[in-house]
Amino acid sequence: MDKPDFNDALYKIESEPLSWKHIKVMLISGSSFFTDAYDLFVIGVVLLMIIPIFNLTPAESGIVASAALFGAVVGPLIFGYIGDRFGRVFSYWTTVLILVIGAIGSAFSFSAIELTIWRFILGIGIGGDYPLTSTIMAEYANRKDRGKLIASVFSMQGFGIMVGVGLAFLLLFLDISPEIAWRILVGAGAIPPILTLNARRKLYETPRFVLFKKGTEVDLSTRNLDYQKSDIGKETYTLLPINFTKFIGTKWKLLFGASIAWFLLDVSYYGTGIFTPYLASLFGFKGLYAAVEASAITIILTAVPGYLVAVALIDKQGRKSMQAIGFLVMSIAFGILYFFGNQILNFSPYVFFLIYGLTFFFTNYGPNTTTYVYPVELFPTPYRARAHGIASMSGKLGAAISVLLFPFLISYMGKFGVIGLLAFVALLGSIITFLLLPETKQKFLTETSGESELILITSTLSNEFTELSNHMIASSKTLRDELMNEKINSFELFQKIKLEEHNADQNVHKIMDYIANTKISSIMYLDISHLARRLDDIIDTIEAVAARFYIYDLSYADKFMKEFSNYIVQCTVLVDKSLSELKNLLAIKSVPERINALYKEATNIENLADDLLRTSLKELMKLKDAVTIIKLKEVYEDLEAVTDRCVDVLDIVSDIALRFMYEIKGLS
């Protein structure tokens, strides 16, 4: 089942082809990441300018340099919560204001302490952008291009860095005074978010957040990608809340894997800067800004191409392999430099740069991009921003630790010793990815996020169950209508019902094939397979009745058969209603009670069918023709068996509804 038929707006959103509407959301979200990267990069240049201006000590320089990173540790937690509680777009506006205020405040700082405070505030906005930009993009994206769209948002980092490099060099070329130049550099970070304010104003809340928001009834027709009313359709839901602590208890392994992988990535990524002085001399740069120039060249030649390759491959190759391979190649490259770095430098500095550059390329091709993509795909809508916030907080913590502690580690272990440590860190990242993280490419967000266990019945497979139910009702009505005739064409009756039974078998096969190839729990597998097979049993039993009429060449139906056929139609209609109720499990709290009422009604009809069977058999025993008694007895028993099968299905549906509602309540 390559294309499950969701009967709601979410399926329509995820099934749309890639269009300009998606690109607009990507550019709006990406503008924040462009700004984030710019703000984080320019501090390296600014620091060189303000050290003599503010007479900074090495310790003070480290604090100023890492202030935004420590703010970025706090930001994801704050705005991950706000994003889940009050909405992605509402929170997004707040981070934009922080980016603008933080940049302007930094530009008008008159001491290192003021600059540190404003950079920390700026960092909160930067960190807050991580869960919000990724979540907004993921919840607007279509299934086939979700990876490249989210990766494209993240790749704006590369362009932000290049603009930072260009502006810094332009100011140096124009010989702008350092006292003014550094203020222009930090203040310029306010320009991109200001320029995109109008576009952000037109961005509606994501349909997924609106749909899953506690106690909210919404018209999704006003929440589409084009920011205007369209034909998405009107769907209203009131959904149950889930306790975050209990959610963590059920998803901790995935959250641990995503968070640790990001932590290890940022430790190694920010740690690679320790060889920048070597690169400066390699490229022939000299003077105060030599390290910045060398770093810029490295990023442009190796990191930016890595971003572009990631965008191109992420929906083809997949997240898991790209992250694992990226970490592994980083580990190998670091390992080569650890064991043979001095020899390689003596042999050819260019070979050294090639190996060193591989770490940047494969970082951005792999884990630097995929660690940003993974969290929004692995966790359900009510906690998507918070889970991403925890993972990105872990990453920024790793970055802040690297910037703060690596200078001390270098003095203790030496540069190549630290490179050996980074080789181990990257290898550990590859192992964590391989063991703890699943592949999510080309899958619906409801499936990758774990919402599929419930969505599987309520939406994904609803089309197949609906068709199966239609075949059941068609069979029961065909049987009843034919038995009401004075003369029965048993061959035609058998052929009609046999065709319905054959088509029902195809539906069952599709359902079984889908769940066999979908990662779901064993209980869910049993629930779905049991339901599909028992529905098929109803149709098989109706076919058995038709077969008996054909085999025994029965051309009439007595009053008992006609009454049985009415009971059968009533029971199959109740089964169909119960399946329709399953679709409402996400939205309506009283579903189990409503299904239970249908079950009781079917049980009453089944009891009437039992009574009718006893009555019909008693009358049958008055006949003297043994052959006729045997034939009619089998027909009566098969007719009554259909009502039994219907009650069996309703019992299964009731159990499914109760189990899911219990699980939802258990998390509420």
**Residue 274 banded pLDDT, cuts 50, 70, 90:** low
Neighbours of 53 (CB within 10 A): 11
Contact 46, 186 (CB under 8 A): yes
Token duo for residue 630:
């045997």
Q: Above 50 in pLDDT, residue 4?
A: no
Chain CA centroid to CA 506, Å: 30
In whole angstroms, what is the distance from residue 641 CA to residue 645 CA? 6
Backbone angles phi, psi at 214, to 5 degrees: -60, 130
Structure-token pair, residue 316: 């083809």
Superfamily of chain region 453-666: Phosphate transport system protein phou homolog 2; domain 2 (1.20.58.220)
Q: What angle do CA 35, 361, 189 make, to 5 degrees?
A: 10
Q: Which residues belong to CATH 1.20.58.220 in the chain?
A: 453-666
Question: Would you list the DSSP string of 264-276?
Answer: HHHHHHHHGGGGH
**pLDDT tens digit sequence for 561-573:** 999 999 999 999 9
User: Which residues neighbour 5 within 8 Å (Cβ) at sequence distance 6 or greater?
Assistant: 11, 462, 463
Q: Tell me what pLDDT residue 218 has.
A: 43
Residue with tokens 């260019």: 350
* Residue 170, number of CB atoms within 10 A of its CB: 12
Topology (CATH) of 9-215+241-450: Growth Hormone; Chain: A; (1.20.1250)
Which residue, 237, 232, 233, 235, is CA-closest to 216? 237
CA distance 355 to 667: 49
460-516 residue pLDDT tens: 677 788 889 999 999 999 999 999 998 999 999 999 999 999 999 999 998 888 777
pLDDT grade, residue 236 (50/70/90)?
very low
Would you place residue 235 in the very low, low, confident or very high pLDDT band (cuts 50, 70, 90)? very low
Average pLDDT value over all residues in the chain: 84
Structure tokens at 573: 């209609």
DSSP 375-434: HHHHS-GGGHHHHHHHHHHHHHHHHHHHHHHHHHHHHHH-HHHHHHHHHHHHHHHHHHHH
% of the chain beyond a pLDDT of 70: 86
Angle between helices 384-413 and 58-86 (to 10 degrees): 170
Q: Give the H/E segment covering residue 600.
A: helix 591-620
On the CB side of 102, CA atoms within 13 Å amount to 28
| Segments of the chain assigned to CATH 1.20.1250.20 | 9-215+241-450
Whether the predicted model's global pTM rises above the 0.85 cut: no
The CB-based long-range contact list for 425-428 (8 Å cut-off, 24+ gap) reads 425/264, 425/267, 425/268, 425/271, 426/264, 426/268, 426/327, 426/328, 426/330, 426/331, 426/334, 427/327, 427/328, 427/331, 428/264
Counted residue by residue, the chain has a size of 668
Candidate from 6-10, 147-151, 267-271 with smallest mean pLDDT: 6-10
In b/e form, how buried is each residue of 221-236, taking b as 16+ CB within 10 angstroms? Answer: bbbbbebeeeebeebe
> For residue range 621-655, what is the model confidence (pLDDT) as tens digits?
998 889 999 999 999 999 999 999 999 999 988 88
Cα atoms found within 13 Å of the Cα of residue 134, Cβ hemisphere only: 33
**Helices 244-271 and 349-365 sit at what angle, rounded to 10 degrees?**
160
Mean pLDDT is lowest, of 227-236, 388-397, 459-468, for 227-236
The confidence score (pLDDT) of residue 263 equals 96
The tens digit of pLDDT for each residue in 100-131 reads 999 999 999 999 999 999 999 999 999 999 99
**Residue pair 92/132 in contact by the 8 Å Cβ criterion:** yes
Question: What is the residue-wise DSSP string for 326-340?
Answer: HHHHHHHHHHHHHHH
- Give the C-alpha separation, 389 to 124, whole Å: 12
CA gap 532, 656 in Å, rounded? 13
Q: Report the chain's terminal Cα–Cα distance, integer Å.
A: 32
Mean pLDDT of 375-399: 91
What pLDDT does residue 283 have?
65
Torsion sign (Cα): 255, 256, 261, 263: positive
Q: What is the pLDDT of residues 65-90, one digit of tens each?
A: 889 989 999 999 999 999 988 888 87
